[in-house]
Amino acid sequence: MSYTIQEIAEALGAKALGAIDLKIDSVAEPAEATASQLALAMKPEFAAQIAAGQARAAMLWEGADWESLGLEAAILAPRPRFALAGLSAMMDPGQGWATGIHPSAVVDPAAELADDVSVGPLAVICAGARIGAGTVIGPHCFVGADCVIGEGGFLREGVRIGARVRIGARFTAQPGAVIGGDGFSFVTPEVSGVERARETLGDQGDVQKQSYARIHSLGSVTIGDDVEIGVNACVDRGTVRDTRIGNGTKLDNLVQVGHNVVVGNDTLLCGQVGIGGSTVIGNNVVLAGQTGVGDNLFIGDNAITGGGTKVLANIPAGRVMLGYPAMKMESQMEVYKGLRRLKRLFADVAELKKTVSNDAESN
């Protein structure tokens, strides 16, 4: 598939300049671009590399002096990273899977598939599942009993959806993602040391040996539209009601969302984030990689955490947090500065003690 510079610019709502009939078949970093590729140099610091490659056209930042870079054509975008979203969708070669239902797939006759659903080799679709128009179920995928998956979904290889999970339109799931595992919910016959330590903040009292009884997950998972779930990430079923993920929310690889959790709309959970059971997370939240959030907490809309933040208490809306335990980012930065000067502080205080004690003696 190839496109002219003009076609690309029109699709992106960007400006086409120069030889706008030039044909492009794919994109590349500037230094590696061939003559039929569009070089991506979306910040001035990448411009110098254009000369190192063979590109005749490039996507550049707004206001770039493209002719001085030796190009024959250019696409200028006011927010090039946003333009890249549309451009990458046009250029995506995809996974190359065949359409249709592969004969090796095991599709229960009581499943309802819209006419143009594709099912890959060795996938399993259980009775009562309903799958919307245009959705692609990849190789080795599993779709459980009575699941609903909306239209336009794309499940990469080996995705697993447990029974009764309901998912909206345009769902994307990366390989090995699991929706609808059982919640991790166990209870001892008598009050446990953990329950006491939580109340006392550290004292578990007299401990008895106890075994755990399992609380089954009777709820399922409800997922909105335009959600993406990363590689080997998991969202557990709720105990009584469903665990819920809102519209437009994206989970990265190896993310864990516990039972009963509610995640709002347009929220990003980055790689290896973990959310404890029954926690509520608002809209437009961004939790950076390896952030951990305890159970039964609340994180307000537009909150942000930095990488590795451990959240042990509620976070109000709009707050930017960092560290373990999570503090406002500015406060945490102050703490970090203090820690680096801590050794010096001990020395200062020791010195002061000596001086003051000498003063006292000399008085």
Q: Which residues are catalytic?
A: 259
**Rounded to an integer, what distance in angstroms lies between the CA atom of residue 255 and that of residue 174?**
12
Query: What does the per-residue mask of binding to its own copies show for 290-329, with x meaning CB under 8 A?
Result: x-x-xx------x-x-xxx-x-x-----x-x-xxxx-xxx
**Rounded to an integer, what distance in angstroms lies between the CA atom of residue 193 and that of residue 210?**
10
**Rounded to an integer, what distance in angstroms lies between the CA atom of residue 151 and that of residue 264?**
21
Q: What is the DSSP letter of 315?
A: B
Residue type (1 letter), 182 = D
- Cis bond before residue 139 (omega within 30° of 0): no
Binding status of residue 152 toward its own copies by CB under 8 A: no
Q: Per the structure block, which two tokens stand in for 324?
A: 């373990």
Shortest distance (Å) from residue 36 CB to its own copies: 15
**Rounded to an integer, what distance in angstroms lies between the CA atom of residue 324 and that of residue 257?**
20
**Other Cβ atoms within 10 Å of 203 Cβ, number:** 9
Q: Which CB sits closer to its own copies, 54 or 232?
A: 232
Shortest distance (Å) from residue 254 CB to its own copies: 5
Binding status of residue 256 toward its own copies by CB under 8 A: yes
Binding status of residue 151 toward its own copies by CB under 8 A: no
Shortest distance (Å) from residue 141 CB to its own copies: 9
State the Cα angle at 120 between 160 and 98, rounded to 5°: 145
Binding status of residue 197 toward its own copies by CB under 8 A: yes
Binding status of residue 109 toward its own copies by CB under 8 A: no
**Rounded to an integer, what distance in angstroms lies between the CA atom of residue 175 and that of residue 159?**
6
Shortest distance (Å) from residue 5 CB to its own copies: 18
Q: Which of 48, 51, 52, 187 binds its own copies (CB under 8 A)?
A: 187
Find out whether 309 and 319 touch, Cβ atoms under 8 Å.
Answer: no
341 contacts: CB under 8 Å, gap ≥ 6: none
Find out whether 236 and 218 touch, Cβ atoms under 8 Å.
Answer: no
Q: What is the DSSP string of 273-334?
A: -EE-TT-EE-SS-EE-TT-EE-TT-EE-TT-EE-TT-EE-S-B-TT-EEETTTTEEHHHHHH
Select the span of 1-9, 15-23, 67-75, 102-110 touching its own copies (CB under 8 A): 102-110
Binding status of residue 86 toward its own copies by CB under 8 A: yes
Shortest distance (Å) from residue 72 CB to its own copies: 21
Q: Which of 286, 298, 300, 314 binds its own copies (CB under 8 A)?
A: 286
Q: Which residues pair with 179 in a beta bridge?
A: 161, 235
Q: Which CB sits closer to its own copies, 12 or 117?
A: 12
Binding status of residue 53 toward its own copies by CB under 8 A: no
Q: Which of 51, 241, 296, 316 binds its own copies (CB under 8 A)?
A: 241
Select the span of 3-11, 48-56, 68-76, 212-220 touching its own copies (CB under 8 A): 212-220
Binding status of residue 214 toward its own copies by CB under 8 A: yes
Q: Which of 17, 258, 278, 281 binds its own copies (CB under 8 A)?
A: 258
